[in-house]
Amino acid sequence: MDNYYNSNNNNKAAAAAAKALANSFNNLDLNPNPNPPSNINFNSPSSSSSTPIPHLHFPGLLPKKTKPPSLVSLCVGVIGRHLEDIIADLGEIAMNLPADIKMALAAIARRRRLLNDDVLVALADTSWEILDVSGSDVSDYGLIKAAEVCRFIKALDISRCTKITAIGISELVKHCHLLETLRCGGCPRSDNTARRCLSIFKPRLEYGEEDSWEELDTKEIGSGAHSLRWLVWPNIDKNSLEDFSAECPRIVVNPKSSPFGFMGTRVPLEALQNIVLDDAVVNDIDPRTWTVRGFAMKPILPPPSSSSELSLAEKFRLAFEERDNRLAPKRAKNARQHQRRAVRELMLMSTRAKSMLLASQVSKSLNSRGS
């Protein structure tokens, strides 16, 4: 009997405790402020990782979590921070690197003012579709060598490149048949190069001097940047704009973003003026990677308007180089034609000599028989 009373008392005590606990939960107010302030911008870009995010039930403190950088990005950042120490052996090191890592290193080298012909040639990869050498020391040699490797390039930025001329662009067009977007200008030399590229960009049919259609080469009678569609040249002058519109109507100069596109064609991101072509490549890398000894690289500004014109001697030199480069294929073709004609004439002359010799021999034999 005593055990029965004890168990009954324990059950009553447990029920009372459960009831008290339920009442305490009912009295707990998880939403003391049902009307959160309306002036909080949940999508504000200025909020950092330590800025608390308001919550309906816990309006206090839920820190905003950001995605940490990947291990690959951290490693690329370390390599980029000491890039000048491995430039001498970069060719051997880059042989075992994936294409995206090579492109990231090229973007870091450009930001650190280390991108030149040797670095570009060492990192160039066949799978690249974009190439940004803007503001670098890359010359025609490095651009041509990179174009021979990167034949699938669709977007190229050569703005503010003082060592790239129309010669390099001409060779680039010959190798990269998928080039759609070209970004240029930004300094007097680059502007002058862009003006001289008009004759390169427009398609043309060359005059062939072969004796028959079978001897003609398709590459020799057709030339021009057939795939080029977008030209980004922010400070283009009025005359150049009119020339491009008249001679190359298929090329859109300085396209603007529009939800409807341009004549039914969507403007690619690489053709917009306010973007950096290789920004997406280093988006996950710490910007301190291209900060050297506490000095952050300042954006490259165009030179003052007082130096916007090249000297007369420089213009003559560039014009002579362009003309010599333009006539070089024609001189080589003429030399091949003269060589073939000389061989043909030699063969013809030897055939005539043989026929004359045979005719004289036949006449002699006939005369001897008649006598």
**pLDDT for residue 300 is more than 60:** no
DSSP 8-state class, residue 262: B
- Average confidence (pLDDT) over 1-9: 53
244 falls in which pLDDT band (50, 70, 90)? confident
Taking 90 as the threshold, does the pLDDT of residue 140 lie above it? yes
Calculated CA dihedral for residues 348, 354, 357, 362, nearest 10 degrees: -120
pLDDT for the residue 227? 86
Residue 182 banded pLDDT, cuts 50, 70, 90: very high
Q: According to the per-residue pLDDT averaged within each range, which of 48-57, 74-83, 150-159 is highest?
A: 150-159
Higher-confidence residue of 311 and 49: namely 311
Distance CA 132, CA 341 (A): 46
pLDDT reported for residue 260 = 65
| Between 92 and 354, residue with greater pLDDT | 92
Share of the chain above pLDDT 90, in %: 26
Residue 296's φ and ψ, nearest 5 degrees, are: -80, 140
Structure tokens belonging to residue 4: 């029965």
Q: Provide mean pLDDT across the span 116-136.
A: 94
The conformation of residue 302, written as its DSSP 8-state character, comes to: P
